[in-house]
């Protein structure tokens, strides 16, 4: 399955579906912040996600219960790869350097990052 870039509205709907795991349009709508979009808007976005093969459904007569076909982790990985490719020349060093400079990483946080990197290298 190919993961695709989501619009902000599509991502918001996916976040609800990841949290609920299975939901009808009314359930998704209930989870969205105010001001809530129209029922038809949410329904349309879910159908777009279905066409992108990111959401599946079980039909109960004329109503559909929707569920994600990709995990949040799969989408996070895709987004990270896109970020790395588009802004950091696929360089982890450039990415980490950017966040260290821009986010004012503390020595404690830097130490934790180093520990994580060392753990991934150990067999």
Co-location of 106 and 64 in the same domain: no
Pair (93, 53) in one structural domain: no
Is the pLDDT at 1 greater than 70, yes or no?
no
Q: Which has more confidence, 8 or 92?
A: 8
2 belongs to a structural domain: no
On the question of pLDDT at 81 being above 60, the answer is yes
Give a yes or no: residue 107 inside a domain: yes
Query: Lowest-confidence range among 17-31, 62-76, 81-95?
Result: 81-95
Same-domain pairing of 20 and 54: yes
Helix (H, G, I), strand (E, B) or coil at 23: strand
pLDDT tens digits along 8-17? 999 999 999 9
DSSP class of residue 116 equals H
Domain hosting 50: range is 8-68
pLDDT at 123: 55
The band of 121, judged by pLDDT with boundaries at 50, 70 and 90, is low
Q: Is there a domain that residue 16 lies in?
A: yes
Shared domain for 61 and 112, answered yes or no, is no
The answer to whether residues 62 and 13 belong to one domain is: yes
Residue 40 lies in a domain: yes
Residues 12 and 64 in one domain: yes
One domain, residues 60 and 93: no
Confirm whether 60 is domain-assigned.
yes
| CB burial string 82-102: b at 16+ within 10 A, e below | eeeeeeeeeeeeebeeeeeee
Instruction: Examine residue 74 and state whether it is found in any structural domain, yes or no.
Output: no
Whether pLDDT at 29 is above 90: yes
Residues 99 and 64 in one domain: no
Domain count, the chain: 2
What are the DSSP calls for 55-101, one per residue? EEEEEETTEEEEEESS-HHHHHHHHHHHHHHHHSTT-HHHHHHHHHH
| Contact by Cβ (8 Å): 56, 66 | yes
pLDDT confidence bin for 98, thresholds 50/70/90: confident
Region 56-70: mean pLDDT is 96
Look up the pTM and report it: 0.78
Which residues lie closer than 8 Å to 71 by C-beta, 6 or more apart? 18
């Amino acid at each position: 399955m190919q993961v695709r870039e989501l619009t902000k509205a599509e991502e918001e709907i996916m976040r609800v579906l990841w949290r609920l795991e299975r939901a009808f349009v009314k359930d998704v709508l209930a989870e969205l912040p105010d001001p809530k979009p129209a029922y038809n808007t949410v329904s349309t976005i879910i159908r777009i996600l279905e066409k992108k093969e990111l959401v599946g459904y079980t039909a109960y007569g004329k109503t559909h219960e929707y569920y994600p076909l990709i995990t949040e982790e799969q989408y996070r990985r895709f987004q990270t790869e896109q970020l790395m490719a588009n802004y950091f020349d696929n360089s982890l060093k450039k990415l980490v350097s950017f966040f260290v400079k821009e986010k004012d990483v503390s020595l404690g946080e830097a130490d934790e990052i180093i520990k994580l990197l060392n753990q991934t290298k150990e067999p």
